[in-house]
Amino acid sequence: METKTLILPESFYNRDTVNVARELIGKVLIRKIGGQVLSGRIVETEAYIAEHDPACHAYSGKTKRNEVMFGPPGFAYVYFTYGMHYCLNFVTEPDGVAAAVLIRALEPLEGIEIMKSNRNQEDIKNLCSGPAKLTQAMEIDRSINGIKLNGSDIVVRESSFNDFQVGISTRIGINKGVEFPYRFYQKKSPFLSRREK
């Protein structure tokens, strides 16, 4: 009997970013903080690739803000935007290649009461249904930027439930690179940042 690796290895991220974004759908994000465990299924992602993608933060070269994207795969890139929000990405592709996957929505699994408190929100469908909502629910901020995945703060693992379809669309909230079909989501999930049409 073949044993299955539960935690996604660095090699999972050291690949084409679009494939990583698609295959992250259904995986489980685990946030460990203060002895507590918060977790959720990834139901929505987007790929950002500096080489040809003007919507990518690293498209115009390396800066203090985006330097983590230029580093090795399997690290967290967290940025601050719109004056009040944080967003979580996983760095992909080899060291020196700037690309990442934005985590846009989760289906809450563990620590739901803590997430409700963090979000001041009782509706489970409104805890992690957006990139800035899930960082608020999971207490992710600038201190997470540049940390290695699968360490003491954030772990990503396989899920035993894989009976779902993956939808593809253009990305949300951007003005450049709008034509790329780089958004992936679990079809029929009630926990997406936008309802399916």
Partner DNA sequence: TAATGGATGTTCT
Partner DNA sequence: GAACATCCATTAT
Euclidean distance between the first and the last CA atom of the chain, given in angstroms as a whole number: 43
**Please, which residue, 66 or 189, has the CB nearer to DNA?**
66
Among 57, 111, 139, 154, binds DNA (CB under 7 A): 57
Q: CA-to-CA distance for 65 and 74, rounded, in angstroms? A: 18
From the CB of 124, what's the least distance to DNA, in Å? 13
Q: Of 98, 84, 181, 92, nearest to 131 (Cα)?
A: 84
Among 14, 32, 72, 85, binds DNA (CB under 7 A): 85
Kindly state whether residue 60 participates in binding DNA, applying the rule CB under 7 A: yes
Among 37, 95, 176, 181, binds DNA (CB under 7 A): 176
Q: Of 21, 16, 187, nearest to 107 (Cα)?
A: 187
From the CB of 1, what's the least distance to DNA, in Å? 39
Distances (CA, A) of 111 to 19, 31, 127: 29, 10, 11
Among 126, 150, 159, 169, binds DNA (CB under 7 A): 126
Q: CA-to-CA distance for 108 and 3, rounded, in angstroms? A: 27
Q: CA-to-CA distance for 31 and 190, rounded, in angstroms? A: 21
Kindly state whether residue 83 participates in binding DNA, applying the rule CB under 7 A: yes
* Span of 7-15, 36-44, 58-66, 179-187 interacting with DNA by CB under 7 A: 58-66
Among 31, 44, 130, 154, binds DNA (CB under 7 A): 130
Which residues 6+ apart lie within 8 Å of 129 measured at CB? 105, 191, 192, 193
Residues forming the site for DNA (CB under 7 A):
46, 48, 55-58, 60, 63-66, 69, 77, 80-85, 87, 89, 100, 102, 119, 121, 126, 130-133, 171-176, 193
